[in-house]
């Protein structure tokens, strides 16, 4: 079996806060193949963004701390990589798109400045050559009148336009992997689809793999190849997108589908009424014993409360789930 | 933009009028110049004569009207002590003060901004603690104490710089600078402390912003992130505090020019107050307030250049 583009193994991230250690990411493992689109799904605070940010070591440290695990990218271990070597990957082989296009662009620098910077740093292009490349790039992300936009500042652009610029920055050096951290969350619903399509098109054309962090299952169904579902800092389910949608195994995943409005019911007895998952996300301050979802799970047993279920393959298709009762007696 | 500048300039007129009234009354509060001019053994008759010659026996309102009338015609009056026109006195003395101000501001910026950046980058670690401790010291030590300490250190114990005096720029940059470094440093440390604290605070805010993470995600060097992306975004409060520093410089200049025997406007003011030479007091303070208003306008205009989101219409 060949080495995947990115392989994360048993990743642990801790936050050292005055109130105690927060176990933000616990033994998270997944892989992304070249050109593949992986979606990481979960609700706020489940560790999906922390996982994404820790790949390029972009979390503020302190308080964040890598407490274990391995991140291998193109066969290279990133967790032990020096800051200089890592910096050469950032923006060149791995691009990032962030959630808030309003705050993720420096308000006092022009669009052109930001776009050309990465190219000039990583590919040593001259100011003029970089400008040429960037003009073509802005056209590709469908920004009208690109030469005028280059000299404009972020506040002169609309939200959707800014996110297009963010995408242009991220893909400027044609990366092998694009990490998009909730790229559409802050956008208008009408623009969300356009932006996602854009990411999809660009990455397909360049053969770029995508990690899409989102809490929107609708988005996942449209663009992802594989899906990783996270809950309370752990991966609870990992499956190909069709497989997950047709046969969600973890009670949490099932709950997520049930909580979607206007969807064909996947849980028995589902009506037009919106179902929510009862209870609250557990605090990650203390290490959780047993299944973190057990307090909210209708099928929870004594075993669930005592023993943390590990992610295990469910069938040969690569569908994996972390539940003691998945498929069988759940 | 031009309209904005014009409107701001027009808006300074009431400010100048208020300042003129206050200055006029303050100068009167200093006491009767006639008795100073007449000397200690003068008779009441002699004093009354001088008062009459200076127009001091007129009602205050009449005195003020006369003074404003001449100011409106560009005439600042004549020193009642030396009989030199006030405008001429100011022109003679403005060079040293201007030089001192320039050297002070440059030193304050060169010391303040890098220390502030360093403190922000190493926040809550040793460099930050040391710089912030020095900043508190810079605030707390009176200017004249610092001035004498500097003289003791660099002009007496280790005599590499002159103790006091002033050499015009026309006689060479090095002698000019040599005479201004110690007074400039003594004056600059307070402002450097102020600038360092502001730079640190502004930069800490900016470094926590999402766009700094974006810049890092692009693979930029830490120094590019801090000095280009972050410092530019943090520049508005820093510019404000530098501007305030320039305006506050006037008070410090009075002390420093006395300690270092620099023949500038500060000394002129102190001497004029001692002699109750009110045309000079009025003229100099009016000039200072004009400069103050102008600098404030310049700072506001600099915002448009520093932050593209600011537009004046």
Q: Is B311 on the interface with A (CB under 8 A)?
A: no
> Looking at residue A313, what is its pLDDT?
85
Interface residue A89 vs chain B (CB under 8 A): yes
Residues in chain A with CB shorter than 8 Å from the CB of B218 are 90-91, 114, 117-118, 121, 169
Return the pLDDT at A329. 43
Q: Note whether B218 contacts A166, CB cutoff 8 Å.
A: no
Q: CA-to-CA distance for A24 and A17, rounded, in angstroms? A: 12
Residues contacting B203, CB < 8 A, separation 6+: B116, B117, B120, B121, B226, B230, B231, B234
- Output the furthest CA–CA distance in chain B (Å, rounded): 85
Contact B217 A98 (CB under 8 A): yes
Write out chain A residues lying below 8 Å of B212, CB-based. 106
What pLDDT shows up at residue B260?
A: 92
* Min Cα–Cα distance to chain B from A301, Å: 43
Q: Decide if A82 touches B, using CB distance below 8 A.
A: no
How far off is chain B from A96, nearest CA to CA, in Å?
6
8 Å CB contact of A107 and B229: no
Answer yes or no: do B211 and A95 touch at CB < 8 A. no
pLDDT band at A328 (very low <50, low <70, confident <90, very high): low
Closest partner residue to A106 (CB to CB) among B217, B221, B233 is B233
- Candidate from A2-16, A25-39, B33-47 with smallest mean pLDDT: B33-47
pLDDT at residue A262, as a whole number? 57
pLDDT of A261 higher than 80:
no
pLDDT at B291 over 80: yes
Residues B1-36: tens digit of each pLDDT:
788 888 888 888 888 888 888 888 887 776 777 877
**pLDDT value, residue A271:** 52
Q: Which pLDDT does position A274 carry in this prediction?
A: 67
pLDDT at B294 over 80: yes
Residues A203-246: pLDDT tens digits? 888 889 999 998 888 888 888 899 999 988 889 899 998 888 88
A90 contacts in chain B (CB < 8 Å): 216-219
Most confident of A19-23, A42-46, A147-151, B245-249: A147-151
Interface of B with A in 185-244 (CB under 8 A): 209-221, 224, 228-229, 232-233, 235
Flag whether pLDDT at A270 surpasses 60.
no
Q: Does A87 touch chain B (CB under 8 A)?
A: yes
Average pLDDT rounded to a whole number, residues B276-304: 86
Residue A99 has pLDDT above 90, yes or no: no
> Could you say which of A109, A114, A122 has the minimum Cβ distance to residue B219?
A122
Work out the percent of chain A whose per-residue pLDDT is above 90: 10
Q: Which of A87, A95, A109 faces B229 most closely, judged by CB atoms?
A: A109
The shortest CB-CB distance from A104 to any of B214, B307, B309 is to B214
% of chain A beyond a pLDDT of 70? 93
d(CA B225, CA B203): 11
Most confident range (mean pLDDT) of A37-51, A243-257, B94-108, B285-299 is B94-108
Q: What is the 3-class SS of chain A, one letter each residue?
A: CCCCCEEEEEEEEEEEECCEEEEEEEEEEEEECCCCEEEEECCCCCCHHHHHHHHCCCCCCCCEEEEEEEEEECCEECCCCCHHHHHHHECCCEEEECCCCCCCCCCCCCHHHHHHHHHHHHHCCCHHHHHHHHHHHHHHCCCCCHHHHCCCCHHHCCHHHHHHHHHHHHHCCCCCEEEEECCCCCCCHHHHHHHHHHHHHHHHHHCCEEEEEECCHHHHHHHCCEEEEEECCEEEEEEEHHHHHHCCCCHHHHHHHHCCCCCCCCCCCCCCCCCCCCCCCCCCCCCCCCCCCHHHCCCCCHHHHHCCCCCEECCCCCCEECCCCCCCCC
> In angstroms, rounded to a whole number, what is the distance separating the alpha carbons of residues A106 and B211?
5
The pTM of the full predicted model, rounded to 2 decimals, is 0.81
Task: Report the residue of chain B nearest A57, measured CA to CA.
Answer: B217
Min distance A232 CA to chain B CA atoms (Å) = 24
Is the Cβ pair B210, A100 closer than 8 Å? yes
Domains and CATH numbers, chain B: 34-75 (no CATH), 87-306 (1.10.3720.10)
Q: Least CA distance to A84: which residue of chain B?
A: B221
What is the per-residue pLDDT across B110-144, written as a single tens digit (0 to 9) for each? 999 999 999 999 988 999 999 999 999 988 999 89
pLDDT band per the 50, 70, 90 thresholds, residue A259: confident
Instruction: Give the model's confidence band at B313: pLDDT under 50 very low, under 70 low, under 90 confident, else very high.
Output: low
Task: Calculate mean pLDDT across residues B264-284.
Answer: 87
Burial of B245 (0-12, 13-18, 19+ CB in 10 A): buried
> Which residue in chain B is spatially nearest to A157 when comparing CA positions?
B309
pLDDT computed for residue B133 by the predictor: 95
Pairwise CB contact (< 8 Å): A87 & B215:
no
A-chain residue closest to B231, CA distance? A108
Mean pLDDT of A83-105: 87
> A224 to chain B, minimum CA–CA distance in Å?
23
Closest Cβ opposite residue B233 in set A91, A98, A108: A108
What is residue B101's predicted lDDT score, i.e. its pLDDT? Answer: 92
Q: What percent of chain B has pLDDT over 90?
A: 35
A6-265+281-321 CATH pick, 3.40.50.1360, 3.20.20.80, 3.40.190.10, 3.40.50.300: 3.40.50.300
Q: How confident is the model at residue A330 (pLDDT cuts 50, 70, 90)?
A: very low
- The reply to whether A101 touches chain B by the CB within 8 Å rule is no
Verify whether the Cβ–Cβ distance B216 to A90 is below 8 Å: yes
ipTM, 2 dp: 0.80
Count interface pairs A-B at CB distance under 8 A. 80
Measure CB to CB from residue A109 to each of B210, B213, B232 and give the nearest one. B232
Reported as a single tens digit per residue, the pLDDT across B235-260 is 999 999 998 888 778 778 888 998 99
- Residue A146 banded pLDDT, cuts 50, 70, 90: confident
Subunit contact B218:A117, Cβ cutoff 8 A: yes
**% of chain B beyond a pLDDT of 70:** 99
How far apart, in whole angstroms, are the C-alpha atoms of residue B176 and residue B51? 43
pLDDT at B310 over 60: yes
Which of A75-89, A254-268, B96-110 is predicted most confidently? B96-110
CA A123, A125, A130, A133 torsion-angle sign: negative
Contact B229 A106 (CB under 8 A): yes
Q: Would you call A108 and B216 a contact, using CB atoms and an 8 Å cutoff?
A: no
Q: Which of B214, B233, B309 sits opposite A98 (nearest CB)?
A: B214
Give A62 to chain B, closest Cα distance, Å.
11
Domains of chain A, by residue range, sit at 6-265+281-321
């Amino acid at each position: 079996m060949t080495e995947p583009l990115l392989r994360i193994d048993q990743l642990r991230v801790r936050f050292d806060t005055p109130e105690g250690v927060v176990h933000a990411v616990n033994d998270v493992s997944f892989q992304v193949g070249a050109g593949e689109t992986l979606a990481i799904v979960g609700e706020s605070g489940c560790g999906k963004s922390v996982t994404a940010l820790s790949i390029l070591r972009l979390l503020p440290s302190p308080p964040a701390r890598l407490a274990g695990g391995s991140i291998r990218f193109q066969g290279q271990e990133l967790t032990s990589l020096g800051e200089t070597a890592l910096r050469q990957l950032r923006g060149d082989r791995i691009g990032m798109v962030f959630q808030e296009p309003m705050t993720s662009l420096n308000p006092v620098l022009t669009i052109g400045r930001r776009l050309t910077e990465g190219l000039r740093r990583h590919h040593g292009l001259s100011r003029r050559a970089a400008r040429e490349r960037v003009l073509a790039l802005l056209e590709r992300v469908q920004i009208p009148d690109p030469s005028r936009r280059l000299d404009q500042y972020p506040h002169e652009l609309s939200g959707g336009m800014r996110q297009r610029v963010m995408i242009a920055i991220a893909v400027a050096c044609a990366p092998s992997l694009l990490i998009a951290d909730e790229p559409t969350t802050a956008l208008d619903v009408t623009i969300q689809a356009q932006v996602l399509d854009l990411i999809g098109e660009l990455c397909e054309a360049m053969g770029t793999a995508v990690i899409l962090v989102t809490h929107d299952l609708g988005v996942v169904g449209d663009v992802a190849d594989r899906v990783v579902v996270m809950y309370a800092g752990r991966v609870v389910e990992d499956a190909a997108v069709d497989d997950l949608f047709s046969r969600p195994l973890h009670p949490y995943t099932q709950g997520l589908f049930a909580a979607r409005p206007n969807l064909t019911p996947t849980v028995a007895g589902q009506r037009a009424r919106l179902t929510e998952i009862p209870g609250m996300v557990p605090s990650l301050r203390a290490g959780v014993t047993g299944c973190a979802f057990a307090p909210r799970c209708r099928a929870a047993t004594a075993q669930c409360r005592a023993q943390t279920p590990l992610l295990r393959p469910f069938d040969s298709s690569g569908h994996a789930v972390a539940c003691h009762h998945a498929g069988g007696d759940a | 933009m031009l309209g904005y500048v014009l409107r701001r300039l027009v808006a300074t007129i009431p400010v100048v009028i208020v300042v003129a009234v206050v200055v006029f009354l303050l100068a009167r509060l200093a006491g009767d110049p006639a008795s100073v001019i007449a000397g200690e053994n003068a008779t009441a008759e002699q004093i009354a004569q001088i008062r009459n010659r200076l127009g001091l026996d007129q009602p205050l309102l009449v005195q003020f009207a006369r003074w404003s009338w001449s100011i409106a015609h560009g005439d600042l009056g004549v020193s009642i002590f030396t009989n030199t026109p006030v405008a001429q006195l100011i022109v003679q003395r403005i060079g040293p003060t201007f030089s001192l101000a320039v050297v002070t501001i440059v030193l304050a910026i060169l010391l303040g901004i890098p220390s502030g950046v360093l403190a922000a980058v190493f926040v809550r670690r040793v460099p930050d603690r040391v710089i912030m401790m020095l900043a508190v010291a810079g605030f707390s030590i009176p200017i004249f104490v610092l001035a004498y300490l500097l003289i003791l250190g660099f002009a007496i114990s280790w005599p590499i710089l002159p103790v006091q005096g002033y050499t015009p720029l026309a006689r060479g940059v090095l002698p000019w600078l040599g005479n201004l470094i110690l007074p400039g440093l003594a004056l600059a440390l307070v402002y450097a402390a102020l600038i360092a604290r502001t730079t640190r605070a502004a930069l800490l805010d900016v470094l926590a912003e999402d766009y700094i993470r974006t810049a890092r995600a692009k693979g930029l060097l830490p120094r590019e992130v801090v000095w280009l992306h972050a410092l530019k975004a943090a520049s508005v409060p820093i510019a404000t505090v530098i501007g305030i520093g320039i305006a506050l410089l006037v008070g410090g200049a009075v002390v420093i020019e006395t300690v270092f025997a620099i023949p500038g406007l500060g000394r002129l003011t102190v001497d004029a107050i001692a002699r109750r030479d009110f045309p000079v007091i009025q003229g100099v303070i009016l000039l200072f307030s004009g400069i103050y208003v102008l600098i404030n306008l310049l700072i506001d205009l600099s915002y448009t250049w520093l932050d593209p989101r600011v537009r004046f219409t």
